[in-house]
Amino acid sequence: MPPDPTAAVRPEPSVSVANAIGLLSGRYGPFNHEPRLDPAHETVFTILSQHTSDTNSSRAFRRLIDRFGTLEAVAQGDVGDIEEAISPGGLARIKAPRIKQVLSLMLELNGSLDLSFLREMPLQDAKAWLRQLPGIGPKSAGIILSFALGRPAMAIDTHIYRVCQRLGLIGAKVTADKAHDLLEAAVAPEQVFQFHLSFITHGRQVCKAQRPKCGECVVAAGCPSRDCFIEKEGGPGPAVSFGADGHGRSGARAPHSLPAEGIKT
């Protein structure tokens, strides 16, 4: 993920991670944290979701399960059959052998596809275990641990990365990989899931890559990048102040302070 081009000119941030989570969760939430799939199925779904839409990845996943019945059967299946099953998801020639390889390695390392043991491992060890699987990087490992096991693992996608850079929560030169560690340390464990869903929703709906809708943004008053876009918008965003509980109130802006390592907590 390349750095946002506005990052080099933005001033100090005036909204903290906690403030932003409170405001964005209030706008888009609440989000119920219920496991979507078990960890092995979540891993396959995550691979299918890479570089495609939610609709296409969901369709490919359903077709794969309908075709093979179980992931054990997928691990034993022919790559060509896997490729045909997941073709609606895109990049099937890359993803089909990767899925087979990942499942086979899970069976080799663990003796089964039951990855529930990751729930009891130290978080860094659980992430390291997943990252030894082909195609599973920091974002994918975070998604699997968070969505399937309820672990407070950070998953920084392109939307979250963009929103955090524009808010000044990470520095201009912070890479996506480094952002995982910095933000995971800055966000309270019980808030990681709310952070993920509220920031990704905000990035998709309001803080878009090309034409951010600053006039609709609930954190605009604390966003140091707003002035870069507001003239195109035709007017200022909503004025919001930030209380200790992280919720916004109409009025003056929050005070500025420079965060350590690019994060204000």
Q: Could you give all domains of the chain from N- to C-terminal order, each with its CATH number?
A: 7-29+156-250 (1.10.1670.10), 39-149 (1.10.340.30)
Q: Are 122 and 145 in contact (CB under 8 A)?
A: no
| Lowest-confidence segment of 88-92, 122-126, 224-228 by average pLDDT | 224-228
Residue whose structure tokens are 């992931």: 71
- How many Å separate Cα 246 from the centre of its chain? 21
pLDDT digits (tens, 9 = 90+) for 126-166: 999 999 999 999 999 999 999 999 999 999 999 999 999 99
Q: How many CA atoms lie within 13 A of 212 on its CB side?
A: 28
Task: Find the DSSP H helices in 172-255.
Answer: 176-186, 192-205, 226-233
What is the pLDDT at residue 237?
Answer: 42
Measured CA to CA in angstroms, residue 206 lies from 1, 142, 200, 211, 219 at distances of 19, 24, 10, 9, 11
Residue whose structure tokens are 């794969």: 64
pLDDT digits (tens, 9 = 90+) for 61-85: 999 999 999 999 999 999 999 999 9
What is the DSSP secondary-structure string of 181-193?
A: HHHHHHS-GGGHH
Residue 39, preceding peptide bond in cis (omega within 30° of 0): no
Q: What is the pTM of this model?
A: 0.78
Measured CA to CA in angstroms, residue 25 lies from 193, 197, 201 at distances of 10, 8, 10
SS3 label, residue 171: coil
For residue 260, pLDDT over 80 is answered with no
- Cβ-proximal residues to 43 (8 Å cutoff; 6+ apart), any chain: 102, 106, 115, 130, 133, 136, 140, 144
